[in-house]
Amino acid sequence: MSRGKRKQPAGDALERAAAYGQRFRGASRPLHPSADASALRRLFDVGLPEAGREPAAVLEDLIAAAEPGLVGNTDPRFFAWVMGSSHPAGVAADWLTSIWGQNAALYQTSPAAAIAEEVTATWLLELLDLPRASSIGFTTGATMAAFICLAAARGEVLRRAGHDFDADGLQGAPGVAVLVSEDAHASNFAALRFLGFGARNITRLPADSEGMLDVAALAAALAASRGPVIVVCQAGQINTGAFDRFDAIADLAAARGAWLHVDGAFGLWARAVPELKALASGAERADSWAVDGHKWLQMPYDSGFAIVRDADAHRRAMDISASYLSESPRDGRNPTHYNPELSRRARGFAAWMMIQVLGRQGVAAIVRRHCECAALIAARCRSVEGIEVLNRVRLNQVVLSFRGREDDDRSADALTERMAEALNATGRYFLRTAEWKGRRVLRVSLIADGTDRAIAEDLADAIETAWRTIRSTKLETTPTRR
């Protein structure tokens, strides 16, 4: 039989996966998983085989085991967390990334992967309007991006203080003061812990009702600090979507010689929208920025960007050197200079694809649409007695609480939980509650590509209907006061 005539088992599995992927993304799927942990363990735990099995058959078993435990992250009615919806175009590029099987550590291990990142980095700096000489590490997400940026910060502020971190590490290093809002995202505290900063090294500064860093408190903390300082602020507070006052913070950081890092996982994308850019005005003055690709760029997961103004500081922090990792003057950018992984997937292909598919106007249109949808939901909710909108809706986040006329905060928390349960019970939405400023709130996050005005109106209708039902039931069961 001539070569190419016989279908290989692995090739059959690839064809089936591609066909299944098209069906899966084209069909209506449950938003909520249908199996619990015990059921999923039974489905997955089919035993360790003695001999290998046909890939296509194993693929079918994998699909059957996984589907009951899948969550509708890609659905336009998924509002629980700020995730994004893995645009099919990015998924297609991600498939190719796996098919090509490139190790994107070095230019020489994959020139295509290296140049894709090199070119895409310039586009990202244009989209976000950040200093064009900045370096970018393509990493797994905003948590690792924060780790990379703060590693560069740690090394650089110690270098300025006369300590050679590369030679001596943290042994004998002067203490580094880290100043961060009490309402910063948990990933920042995790990254700092990974880098050797303990709780007593970190000063948690007060934040206002929107989660914005108290500038006066920062000024006082900077004045009281001695030695190297790192300041962490944020573009897009995870609950409210609020932005810190970057110009004022940058002035203080510059006067003190502090490194300023911006957690811009989703909020920094506001800089890609002309009428929203002012929200993040001054953020360009920072020293580093952590951004997610899987959020408003709608990339598949395993996509984040660590952006550092000082490329030398970035490279010093991420250096991996060995004689066999050779370089040539003719080589392009080495991806491993900007992230801590030596073996890694080629993340630049999907980023290149999504920027080309969306373009500057497409990215702006998605961000703009979601912000408009959030404003619509907030306006509708404010018009209903007993529904409180707890944040100024400037981006894509809406924070809701529900209470009757005489409810205290504890009763309101219980009603808010009931509202989440009622909306999720319809099977048409995926929502979760959170703790915010000591209260249980329903947080609505709008960031899936397909979420539009019609879906926002539908959710607002559902919130109003569910609230009227719960409120009327509560009134019927509440004893009459005498």
66-73: list long-range contacts, CB under 8 Å, 24+ apart: 68/33, 68/34, 68/35, 68/39, 68/40, 68/43, 69/33, 69/35, 69/40, 69/43, 70/29, 70/33, 71/31, 71/32, 71/33, 71/430, 72/29, 72/30, 72/31, 72/32, 72/430
Q: What is the mean pLDDT of residues 347-372?
A: 98
Q: Is the residue at 77 inside a domain?
A: no
Instruction: Enter the tokens of residue 122.
Output: 């310039």
Work out the number of other CB atoms within 10 angstroms of the CB of residue 198.
9
Q: Which residue has the higher pLDDT, 11 or 244?
A: 244
Shared domain for 129 and 236, answered yes or no, is yes
**Are 336 and 106 within 8 A, CB to CB?**
yes
User: What is the identity of the amino acid at 262?
Assistant: V
Q: In the listed set 355, 371, 401, which residue is the last one of a domain according to the structure?
A: 355
Cα–Cα distance measured from residue 387 to residue 415, given in angstroms and rounded to the nearest whole number: 10
Q: Is the residue at 297 inside a domain?
A: yes
Q: What is Dmax (Cα atoms) for the chain?
A: 93
pLDDT at 20 (0 to 100): 94
Instruction: Enter the tokens of residue 465.
Output: 């209907």
Shared domain for 169 and 123, answered yes or no, is yes
Please tell me the least confidently modeled range out of 35-39, 339-343, 349-353: 339-343
Shared domain for 312 and 446, answered yes or no, is no
Q: Is the residue at 311 inside a domain?
A: yes
Shared domain for 206 and 100, answered yes or no, is yes
Half-sphere exposure of residue 459, counting CA atoms within 13 Å on the CB side? 30
Shared domain for 162 and 96, answered yes or no, is yes
Q: What is the mean pLDDT of residues 1-18?
A: 69
The parent domain of residue 39 ranges over: 9-70
pLDDT at 474 (0 to 100): 65
Shared domain for 314 and 394, answered yes or no, is no
pLDDT at 408 (0 to 100): 73
Shared domain for 350 and 368, answered yes or no, is no
pLDDT in tens, 212-232: 999 999 999 999 999 999 999
Shared domain for 245 and 304, answered yes or no, is yes
Q: Is the residue at 83 inside a domain?
A: no
pLDDT at 5 (0 to 100): 47
Pairing of strands 259-263, 288-292: parallel
Q: Is the residue at 469 inside a domain?
A: yes
Nearest to 261 by CA among 239, 285, 292: 285
CATH number of the structural domain spanning residue 390 = 3.90.1150.170
Cα–Cα distance measured from residue 136 to residue 84, given in angstroms and rounded to the nearest whole number: 21
Instruction: Enter the tokens of residue 291.
Output: 């951004």
Domain count, the chain: 3
Cα–Cα distance measured from residue 12 to residue 55, given in angstroms and rounded to the nearest whole number: 8
Instruction: Convert 147-183 to b/e letters by CB count within 10 Å (16 or more is b).
Output: bbbbbbbbbbbbbebebebeeeeeeebeebbbbbbeb
User: What is the identity of the amino acid at 306?
Assistant: A
Shared domain for 294 and 161, answered yes or no, is yes
Q: Is the residue at 1 inside a domain?
A: no
The pTM for the full model equals: 0.94
User: What is the identity of the amino acid at 311?
Assistant: A
Q: Is the residue at 419 inside a domain?
A: yes
Shared domain for 229 and 367, answered yes or no, is no
pLDDT in tens, 280-293: 999 999 999 999 99
Q: Is 408 helix (H, G, I), strand (E, B) or coil?
A: coil
Cα–Cα distance measured from residue 94 to residue 138, given in angstroms and rounded to the nearest whole number: 14
Query: pLDDT over 70 for what percent of the chain?
Result: 96
CATH number of the structural domain spanning residue 259 = 3.40.640.10
Mean pLDDT computed over every residue of the chain: 93
At 321, the pLDDT band (50, 70, 90 cuts) reads confident
Shared domain for 450 and 470, answered yes or no, is yes
**Are 237 and 211 within 8 A, CB to CB?**
yes
Instruction: Enter the tokens of residue 158.
Output: 């110690």
Shared domain for 167 and 30, answered yes or no, is no
Cα–Cα distance measured from residue 458 to residue 24, given in angstroms and rounded to the nearest whole number: 24
Q: Is the residue at 53 inside a domain?
A: yes
Q: In the listed set 355, 376, 403, which residue is the last one of a domain according to the structure?
A: 355
